[in-house]
Structure 1
Amino acid sequence: MRDVVRYIVFVTYQIYHEYPVPAYMEYPVLIAQDTILLLLILHYNGNLRQSVIYSALGWQLLTLQKWIIDLAMSLCTFISAGSKFAQLQCLWESKDSSHISALSWTISSYTCLARIFTTIMTTGDLQVMARFIVLTILNGWVTVTVLYYRQGCKKLD
């Protein structure tokens, strides 16, 4: 659910500022996938009707004014960063990265780096670039932490 909200906020931000479609084209596909998954989960949990009503109200609120969209974008960056810090905290406490994919975190870092480049080339939006710079740094930090603890586990064996 959290990812769907972040995607919707990001796409709404891009559309509101009239950025070119290639700057955000992958997000509608991701939103569609997450939405289908979320609807199936809600359907089987019996919460579908309530969720659809809240989603419609949230979408209307989000598209009302520029400052709401900008604030939502900033909050999504904050939430994304918070989830990465939570992952780091769990790694530091457990000192075990055997169940975490370093490849996935590397791909996330690379994706954010690519988005920095495409943002510079297409829109130059500082808020979007700041988002991807923060996420690149944190994804890289998680990757390095995963690899560090993975090497520590091999030395103990």
Structure 2
Amino acid sequence: MATSEKAVPTSFMEPFKDVLVNYLMPEKCYDEFFLDFNFLHVDCLKIIISKGLGIGIILGSVLVKLPQILKVIGAKSAEGLSFKSVMLELLAITGTMAYSIAKGFPFSAWGEALFLMLQSVTLAFLIQHYKGSTVKGLTFLVIYFGLLAVLISPLTPMSVVTTMQASNMPAIIFGRLIQASINYRNGHTGQLSAISVFLLFAGSLARIFTTVQETGDSLMVLSYIISSSCNGLITAQILYYWNVSPEMKKKAE
């Protein structure tokens, strides 16, 4: 009887096993949960939380900078946005993506970098476009994607990719400090999107846990800790300048 009782939940979950094992948990955790009904297995719970957060971050990253992009297009202005800051952020994102691919990390540990890269490239082009330098923006796109193709190919030595990942920390710090200084100097956050800033801050915080759990790579963990701190600074400015717009600032002057 004991054997037949266990077979019922096993056969019921069997159609979902491949999906669960491939994307959410190792087979040992599947057995713990659905064969032994040990739903409080600590190590397996950590894995599932980490995988779930990772998938959530990736899905969220598809839209994280879309509010920013739409705000710039809607205003037909990139006022308050720093091209240098976006470029430094793009350097950090590209380094993380190339490093993760070279190391063979699971997509759930770094996938948001791909979508953030595409959105950051779009934003960089829009900043140039609305400053009247559309040709420069198009040239930037061609050069960037050419370099990216080389960077993620076997032609690039691992030492170069590791150096890029290590450079993430100063790139993130300087990029965010440039944007923070522009916000402070302007006395407002311009066309910065609060939604995008909040999502980036939350995502970088969650990535600290998922990176520890899924990769154990101290270099990536440190990068996300620094990224969270810097994103927190911009988030604080968004809140501080919440009721101040460029138009209000100009009227006050």
Alignment TM-score, normalising by the size of structure 2: 0.48
**How far is the alpha carbon of 1:151 from its aligned partner?**
5.2
> Percent of counterpart pairs with the same letter?
19
* Contact 2:176-2:231 at 8 Å conserved across structures: yes
Which has the higher mean CA deviation after the structures are superposed, 101-110 or 118-127? 101-110
Amino acid of the structure 1 residue aligned with 2:162:
D
Listed as ranges, the matches of 1:39-78 within 5 Å are 45=135, 47=139, 51=143, 55=147, 58-59=150-151, 64-78=156-170
Query: Match of 1:150, SS?
Result: coil
* Contact 1:109-1:136 at 8 Å conserved across structures: yes
RMSD: 3.9
User: Is 2:96 the partner of 1:10?
Assistant: yes
Give the corresponding residue for 1:104.
196
Question: What residue ranges of structure 2 are gaps of 5+ in the alignment?
Answer: 1-85, 129-133
Listed as ranges, the matches of 1:1-157 within 5 Å are 2=87, 5-31=91-117, 45=135, 47=139, 51=143, 55=147, 58-59=150-151, 64-97=156-189, 99-150=191-242
- Give the whole-Å Cα distance in 2 for the aligned partners of 1:138 and 1:119: 18
Question: What residue ranges of structure 1 are gaps of 5+ in the alignment?
Answer: none
Which protein has the larger Cα radius of gyration, Structure 1 or Structure 2?
2
* Contact 2:91-2:171 at 8 Å conserved across structures: no
Amino acid of the structure 1 residue aligned with 2:157:
Q
**How far is the alpha carbon of 1:23 from its aligned partner?**
1.2
For these two proteins, the number of residue pairs brought into alignment is 152
Which has the higher mean CA deviation after the structures are superposed, 26-35 or 143-152? 26-35
* Contact 1:119-1:125 at 8 Å conserved across structures: yes
Alignment TM-score, normalising by the size of structure 1: 0.72
* Contact 1:112-1:136 at 8 Å conserved across structures: yes
